[in-house]
Amino acid sequence: MKAIILAGGRGERLRPLTDQIPKPMIPIKEKPLIFWCVDRLKKGGIKDIILSIGYKAEIIQEYFKDGKEFGVNISYNIETQPLGTGGAVKDIVQKNNLKEDFALVWGDNLADYDWKGCIDQHKKTGALITMNLTKRDDVENFGVARLENKKIIGFVEKPKREEAPSNLINAGAFIINPKILEILPEGVSNIERECFQKVAVKDGKVYAFEHKGYWFPTDTLEKYNKAKEEFERICK
């Protein structure tokens, strides 16, 4: 199985850290953030990885090269213009002629995803999408999953805590059947709104895989500093 890591954002909310380096290269325990994402995929048996990068792409390429030093095979897709999450993934799938299910992961979360468990469940259920969900108390800051058993039937965006349909949010890691991307338009699109949400309602084959390990977003300086502190505590 191949994996796509989306890691092309400019990281404006992480300035001044990202003035000189791209967001995927911000340091966590003396390694770039994206290293931990690649390493987790490798531990899950996924070693063919496509990095979707843009801002200061050459710094990421210089660090990973072809990936052999890290025990993986890495290729690159460089975004010359922003395509959104949907447009970027569809572009990569088309360029690489991906016909089989693939892993997709956002590159700005620090998490110990159970890729083997997720893949096993995906195969057993016949899902079109298997989405990692993680528990949060602060559901008012996220899109919250509405579930029927293990099926995701939709999301409620930033609900009040007392009105939330669950305490589970999108953890940014998925197994995807590439044929579902046909629903997306060419060019710019958002994969969550224009694909995942529609497939959940239309086909009923979007399944939840509950992520039970650590999960830290890093998209602001405050979240990044918290992620560093917590990760270093966990990894002592």
CATH code assigned at 216: 3.90.550.10
pLDDT in tens, 33-62: 999 999 999 999 999 999 999 888 999 999
Residues of the domain holding 130: 2-234
Q: Considering its fold, how many domains does the chain have in total?
A: 1
For residue 187, give the nearest of 39, 71, 87 by alpha carbon. Answer: 87
Asked whether 32 and 68 are in contact (CB, 8 A), the reply is no
Tell me phi and psi for residue 20, to 5 degrees.
-110, -20
| Tokens coding 5 | 């890591």
Rounded distance between C-alpha atoms, residue 7 and residue 224, angstroms: 16
Task: Give pLDDT tens digits for 13-30.
Answer: 878 878 888 999 999 988
Reported as a single tens digit per residue, the pLDDT across 65-108 is 999 999 999 999 998 888 888 999 999 999 999 999 999 999 98
Q: What are the Cα distances from residue 71, in Å, to 26, 64, 176, 212?
A: 21, 11, 24, 26
Mean pLDDT of 215-219: 90
Structure tokens at 200: 């959940």
Angle between helices 115-125 and 33-43 (to 10 degrees): 50
CA distance 221 to 92: 30
pLDDT for the residue numbered 148: 86
The residue written with tokens 């979007």 in the block is 206
Whole-prediction pTM value? 0.93
Q: Compute the distance between CA of residue 95 and CA of residue 109 in angstroms, rounded to an integer.
A: 26
